[in-house]
Structure 1
Amino acid sequence: MSTHIPNLDVCIGETNQKYTKDLLRLARHKLTMRSTDRRSFIKVVGGTTIAGALAGCMGNEGGNGNGNGNGNGNGNGNGNASGNGNGNGNGNGDGNASGNGNGNGNGNGNASGNGNGNDTDNQTSNESGSGSGESRQIGISQHQAGGSWITAFFDSGTIYAESQGYQLETFIHEADAATQISQVRQMINQEYDGIVLVPYNESLNDVIVEAEEAGIPVFTANQDATTEAVKSFTAFGNENAGQICGEQMYEALTNQKPDVDTYRVLNVRGDFISSSNARTDGFLSVMESQDDVEIVNTIQTDWTQSDAQSKVQTWLNGNDTPHGVYSSNMTSGLGTFQALEDQGLAVPKGEDDHIVVTQLDGGPDVNPKILDGYIDAAVDQPVTFYIPLAIKQMEAYWENGDDAIPEIDSELTEDDYSFEPTEHQNGTLWSEPTWAPAQVVEKDGHPYVQTSGITLTEDNADEPYLWGNIWG
């Protein structure tokens, strides 16, 4: 996922690895370093090394001494490089740095770098980038790795970023907020162009503000932060998804068991975090509006399959069989199904003993159970669009600033953000705009791009555009 200049490490030397990124940015006219960074950089690396690396390592990227560097062309390192150990170094580099189009860029000019002494830098430049002349770096931090949902989340983002010529670096903190804060600070210090964040909790708010103050836009996806410093948040509507599961539950109960006076429903929820609360509240709002439905119990799990299986099985051993069961995420749903199966209660619909099952999330192990009639319905997330949508908004922000951020109380459609269908593993990414339409609402002082969800039934659970079938 990273892109490096060939032989750059050799040009700079192994002892100067921490300056590699700065030299890369200088060479590409990508970012202007802070003056303190430039002083340290020149002191350690030396003017000769800088000029030699720029001339010798940048085979296809040239820039002349006056600050004009046209992106895609043939670059010859024919400049004069002189580096003096001590003295005063003045670096006045006023000019326009453009990363546009095609052409020949020759590395001609005089490069002088004085290793020790006073460094005065008055470098001003206007940056623009189009085509392949500019490579931006985006970081994403997520609280866990592994599992099919997380894999789909990361991989689809990486595929889209690479298709646009960006570097997407992923950071995992394994449910440790302090580690995630450190990761974001690392991205700030290394001057990433943008951050897609899945914040672990509200303790990330301050470092998001730090990123904003450093001029680095932060877009959240899947989970949000409670600070207006977030440019926008992208995810489906958790409460609405819970409501749809409730509607699917009630419809299936009344159609399949019309002679029952009171439907007994078991609610299996996750931890008391915002997304879990919203999914539970949405489901319960539908159930509680029906006079013939009783929520017989709510079982709290940690959203893992093993915890749900153990707790649901314990409850089933000591209580009457429910008519319906709802689970608020994929893994707890699979654990619930396993508990039903262990008790001999997993029966496909159409049979008298069938227990109506609805849940949040499809997946490689969920979709086949829907097709076989064991799970009546699931509301799936358009997870393969989350990071790509965040990057689309980031691209617009790079071009036009805050004016390009989706407006609150507006609606986004597939015409606003389109994606090229891409073959991947067992299906086709982005062949159907399942995220659209999206309602843009206000949340914690910033826009929330609330995407649509996908209601899965036996009629569509085998579609090749579903993430659970692509990674299945």
Structure 2
Amino acid sequence: MRTAAKTGVVLAGLTASALLLAGCSSDGATATSADTNKADILLSYSQPHTDPFQNAENVGSMERFAELGYGTIPATNADRDASQQLTDIQTLINKGAKGLVISVGDADAIVPAIEYANDSSVPIVAIDEAPASGKIAMIVRADNVNMGALACEEMGSRVKAGDAVITLDGDPVTSNGRDRTNGFNDCMAEKYPDVKLVNVATEWDPAKAAAGIETAMNQYDNIAGIYNQSDATFFPTILDTLDSLGKLIPVGQPGHVVQVSVDASPMAMTAIRDGWLDAAVAQPMTDYIDYGVDYLTRAISGETFQAGETDHGSVIEERNGNLVDLLPTPVVTSENVDDPDLWGNKEFALEAFGVTK
């Protein structure tokens, strides 16, 4: 996890010369050669929907472009409309964007937009989410299957055979939703087969998560845990729902409903400190932005990349025809919740989520 950050969602990043990844090569003249003004190279960001995590990725990426001296076109937000994100990306390219960082809303629906960029020779770097296909310069994300498995280990160690666990599943049209569900479910089936899973389809909608929790609590009297695939999205909805049901009991007290989440947002960090959340698997959000922007600026300069180990503790793998830089994802508990290296403790994140430490 990177340690440098600025306030106000201004993220400290790496210069291209400081970040030398395994297996990189350069093809011919660069777009940032001496006779090219970087301010004339327009970059932008495509956001799939609105939540504090996505907003921070958007603003941080755009500010990073500006810090590096590139020109920008205002970022777009598709507001959960997959067809709108396709249109947004095409529009940004038609406006002159020479490179884009995107977060994918619908892994399949986004493909025509990526193919449009490919035909237009405009490099794209995807952060956090992965498209189903289309040529991407680099995908920068966590290993979400492993994040689900890590959450499973935390949950499995805290519940017992015969218990039931609610899983708030993300939208299956997103790679993160599928991977976090599969990683958790497969691990539970293998290691904790006597724990019943009650899957709730949320589509990343907090209202659907709340309704699913209420339904499950009414249907089963042995709910012992909740697996939350995005605490950046679902807090404080879960806490409010449990409170309304009389089930919000602190960690370590009889009747406590074990909670394990993914993201480790500032809200989750507060919940761990306050004794409501047992553990969270942390997304490396600052790294998404720093490395995402760095890969993009190098791609528009003609660099290509190869699979292999990096110098920042990750591994680049080939998946579905694209390279993916899989960043480390630490588990946060009461023992390490105050670690300043965790993104949920950084000033920009606290401001973006409106949380005080």
Residue identity opposite 2:239 in structure 1:
F
TM-score normalised according to structure 1 size: 0.62
Matched residue pairs, number? 315
1:165 to 63, 69, 75: 69
When residues 184 and 458 of structure 1 are mapped into structure 2, their CA distance, relative to the original with a 3 A threshold, is: same
Separation in structure 2 between the aligned mates of residue 128 and residue 264 of structure 1, nearest angstrom: 56
2:255 to 350, 353, 360: 353
Deviations 1:156-200 (A, max 9, x none): 213322221123431112222333222222222233221112233
1:263 to 163, 188, 198: 163
Separation in structure 1 between the aligned mates of residue 162 and residue 52 of structure 2, nearest angstrom: 37
When residues 460 and 167 of structure 1 are mapped into structure 2, their CA distance, relative to the original with a 3 A threshold, is: farther
- Give the deviation of 1:279 after TM superposition: 0.5
Separation in structure 2 between the aligned mates of residue 173 and residue 204 of structure 1, nearest angstrom: 12
Pairing 1:453–2:353 present: no
Q: Which runs of 5+ in 1 are unaligned?
A: 1-124, 254-259, 415-436
Separation in structure 2 between the aligned mates of residue 307 and residue 126 of structure 1, nearest angstrom: 48
When residues 456 and 131 of structure 1 are mapped into structure 2, their CA distance, relative to the original with a 3 A threshold, is: farther
When residues 215 and 272 of structure 1 are mapped into structure 2, their CA distance, relative to the original with a 3 A threshold, is: closer
Cα RMSD of the aligned pairs, angstroms, is: 2.5
Separation in structure 2 between the aligned mates of residue 212 and residue 342 of structure 1, nearest angstrom: 50
Aligned to 1:380: 282
When residues 195 and 443 of structure 1 are mapped into structure 2, their CA distance, relative to the original with a 3 A threshold, is: same
1:207 to 93, 99, 113: 113
1:177 to 77, 82, 99: 82
SS at match of 1:129: coil
When residues 155 and 454 of structure 1 are mapped into structure 2, their CA distance, relative to the original with a 3 A threshold, is: farther
Separation in structure 1 between the aligned mates of residue 31 and residue 189 of structure 2, nearest angstrom: 57
When residues 261 and 209 of structure 1 are mapped into structure 2, their CA distance, relative to the original with a 3 A threshold, is: closer
Aligned to 2:127: 221
1:271-310 matches, within 5 Å, as 271-273=171-173, 274-290=175-191, 293-310=194-211
Residue identity opposite 1:139 in structure 2:
S
Residue identity opposite 2:166 in structure 1:
L
Contact 1:161-1:388 at 8 Å conserved across structures: no
1:32-431 matches, within 5 Å, as 128-129=32-33, 133-135=37-39, 136-145=41-50, 147-168=51-72, 169-201=74-106, 202-253=108-159, 261-273=161-173, 274-290=175-191, 293-330=194-231, 331-332=233-234, 334-399=236-301, 401=302, 404-408=303-307, 410-414=308-312
Separation in structure 2 between the aligned mates of residue 302 and residue 210 of structure 1, nearest angstrom: 27
Separation in structure 1 between the aligned mates of residue 204 and residue 123 of structure 2, nearest angstrom: 31
Residue identity opposite 2:92 in structure 1:
M
Larger RCO, structure (CA 8 Å, separation 6 or more) = 2
TM-score normalised according to structure 2 size: 0.80
Give percent identity, aligned residues only: 22
Separation in structure 1 between the aligned mates of residue 161 and residue 341 of structure 2, nearest angstrom: 40
Residue identity opposite 2:155 in structure 1:
M
Deviations 1:114-145 (A, max 9, x none): xxxxxxxxxxx996535995313211111123
Contact 1:152-1:384 at 8 Å conserved across structures: no
Contact 2:162-2:196 at 8 Å conserved across structures: no
Residue identity opposite 1:185 in structure 2:
Q
SS at match of 1:358: strand
Deviations 1:4-37 (A, max 9, x none): xxxxxxxxxxxxxxxxxxxxxxxxxxxxxxxxxx
Separation in structure 1 between the aligned mates of residue 55 and residue 93 of structure 2, nearest angstrom: 25
Q: Which runs of 5+ in 2 are unaligned?
A: 1-28
Aligned to 1:90: none
Separation in structure 1 between the aligned mates of residue 110 and residue 257 of structure 2, nearest angstrom: 42
- Give the deviation of 1:440 after TM superposition: 1.4
Contact 2:198-2:216 at 8 Å conserved across structures: no
